[in-house]
Amino acid sequence: METNSCHTLKSPVIKKFCESITKLARSSGGYFEPIQDDFLEAYYQIVEKVRIEGGLPEGEYRQKGNAFRDFISELIYVRSEGTYRLTDRRIPGYSERTHDVDLAYVRDNTVLVAGEVKMTGSPKHKKGITIQKERKTQSDLDKKIKGSQVHRSGSKTSLHSRRGHNKCCELQKHPF
């Protein structure tokens, strides 16, 4: 199953990382759990080591979110046996004419799925010669929730208000 993930990344280091993790997604049949250790090892070997050695400028390092986006897209694509390719795109909005989202699936000009990729928490990991303690998801979650409430797009606001609720949920392990 040939894919088009990672093609938009400008940083050679982040692109190499993206290609490595999307290959893992394909090898796992679209499941994260069997490859989570390999994912973290790829991140450390390809991204963090280079960053620690000063070979990855901050502007390029910040592109890693796009690699995560492409990884999630690949997991979904592989798990759906090539049926659903979610891509970053502009979708119609309510408070603004359009919104840029990380992942969207549109069929017959109807947005069926739209989402943003946010990475939270951090497992125990190496940073240089020291071992960093695990940072629980909750450590980052409060900040992400506050950010999503402040920067929520019009399409999300309208969706929430139409359905009569305004909750934010944490997905621990989603069975992709």
In degrees and rounded to multiples of 5, residue 4 shows phi and psi of: -115, 20
Nearest CA to 63 out of 54, 51, 73, 77 is that of 51
Is residue 157 a part of any domain in this protein?
no
Is residue 113 a part of any domain in this protein?
no
Query: Residue 139 has what pLDDT?
Result: 59
Task: Tell me the residue range of the domain where 4 lies.
Answer: 1-82
Is residue 120 a part of any domain in this protein?
no
Could you read off the pLDDT tens digit of each residue along the chain, which spans 176 residues?
555 678 888 999 999 999 999 999 999 999 999 999 999 999 999 998 898 888 988 888 888 889 999 999 999 999 999 999 888 888 887 778 888 888 888 888 888 888 888 776 666 666 667 777 766 666 555 655 555 443 444 433 333 333 333 333 333 333 33
Tally of domains within the chain? 1
pTM (predicted TM-score): 0.68
Is residue 59 a part of any domain in this protein?
yes
Dist. CA 16–CA 45, nearest whole Å:
11
Dist. CA 159–CA 117, nearest whole Å:
18
